[in-house]
Amino acid sequence: SVDDEEDPLSSLEITVPHDLADGFVNNKRETYKFKFQKIFDQEAKQDVVFDTIAKPVAECVLAGYNGTIFAYGQTGSGKTFTITGGAERYSDRGIIPRTLSYIFDQLQKDSSKVYTTHVSYLEIYNECGYDLLDPRHEASRLEDLPKVTIMEDSDQNIHLKNLSLQQATNEEEALNLLFLGDTNRMIAETPMNQASSRSHCIFTIHISSKEPGSATIRRSKLHLVDLAGSERVAKTGVGGHLLTEAKYINLSLHYLEQVIIALAEKNRSHIPYRNSMMTSVLRDSLGGNCMTAMIATLSIDKRNIDESISTCRFSQRVALIKNEAVLNEEIDPRLMIVQLKKEIQDLKDELELVTGKQRTSELSQEELLQLDELIETFLSDNDPDSSLDVGADMRKIKYCFIHMKQLVKHPTTSDKKLLSQDISEEEDTNKGPGEEELEKLKDLLQQRDNEINILVNMLKKEKKKAQDALFQLNATSACSTVLEQSPSINLEDRQSPSSGFSLKEAKDFSSSVHRLPFLSRQTGGKMSLGCQEAFEVFKRDHADSITIEDNKQLLKQR
């Protein structure tokens, strides 16, 4: 019988009448009374169960606290139906799909933070962990998969090796991952249930949130646990493989009960979390930093009355545990590093100023230029209250004083850059304006010389190309071209050895004279070719184009 009228708790009373076959003297208890926060009968709808149990936990998870919801009960009493849901109707959706829908709906509404969500699905079968979201799961047997192993750090935090974290950006992706995991679960037909879960499954949603511009990150996780059902082997009569599974299931649930009992005792120093994999994974959820809700499922039937009583007793023990959930906030390490570096530099400067210990290293060129700019800005500012802030570094303070001294002594050179290399090189920095002008002119002259040398080299190359082209023409046309272009040089003078002109020099001269009008025509009569123009001329004046140009000139002259 159920009494819902008591506020705020509901009470469940189970009456077991004495069996007359046991004899007249029978001191067994006849009535058992348990109190719970809420009792649902078999007519309760899934949405009511979600609103009462899972919604408050999901809200805490969104606020940055850890949460756990787990279902415990005898095999065939409806744990998987409550947690995952039934497949027949959409309204039979369980706590996991409804929680995913609720969380993503809330995340879309809240635009003040940036959220990232990941999902993991762990199966514990015969005390071995397996990743239900492993991509190779469909193609191989369960035993061939890499096993999920438990690692523990120095702070006694549990880390699961080989368990994949899959990112889920929306509800559809998360549900697809849930369905993928559910199809990979170990189920078997038993005398108690047609499709009995033979493993414990833990579906975890990881949420991290961060406000734009803020250095703090909130991380929270929600464990949704579907435990395998306990069963009495003597009653069900299973054997072989099913018997092995039943032993492992009952053993892990026994260890879970041990942990619950130890947590409920006040003066207990050791909690046996490491006895089984499931209690290790749920370490935070049981007596740690977590908001935990437990659902106890009962199979109300005369045959199962003993199991129902033991389930109620277990859940009463769970209710005695007190968890302390704290907000999971941490600082973004990258922003923290920048802040700490700046703080260290400030403290170093202060310490040196107080202790009087000076740094011996010289200031870099960048720091000197920065100081020069600060001094110029300070001097050009007409505000009488303006200040020159160079920090607590004595090297910088000394440099500023020396710079100011130079400016006071040499006001005519105030607009020139003083102390460009080092403070000690004062005589180099005090050059007069005449010397500086001379230096500039020398540099300019050197630059022009370099440019002329480059152009001369280019012209020599062009001459050589022209010679190669001229050799291809016949001798008579070449001679007539030379005579027409330069009438002052006759053929006899060129061929006589006494005249100081060799035949080769004449050819060079003729080719250069012949090429000059072409160059001047291409560049608009200007000989000072820029880089781009010189490149264009070079492209046009390839070996073939020179031959064509010479032939055109010959035709025009004829």
Detail the residues annotated as belonging to a binding site: 73-80
Packing angle, helices 171-183 and 95-109, rounded to 10 = 160
> Cα–Cα distance between 377 and 389 in angstroms, integer?
11
508's tokens: 């060079």
Binding site for ATP: what residues are annotated? 73-80
> Cα–Cα distance between 494 and 490 in angstroms, integer?
7
Residue with tokens 């942990």: 259
Residue with tokens 């005449």: 434
Beta pairing partners, 122:
131, 202
> Cα–Cα distance between 74 and 196 in angstroms, integer?
11
> Cα–Cα distance between 83 and 73 in angstroms, integer?
12
322's tokens: 């007190």
Are 230 and 240 a contacting pair, CB within 8 Å? no
φ, ψ for residue 452, nearest 5 deg: -65, -40
φ, ψ for residue 358, nearest 5 deg: -100, 150
Are 397 and 390 a contacting pair, CB within 8 Å? yes
> Cα–Cα distance between 144 and 137 in angstroms, integer?
9
> Cα–Cα distance between 472 and 469 in angstroms, integer?
6
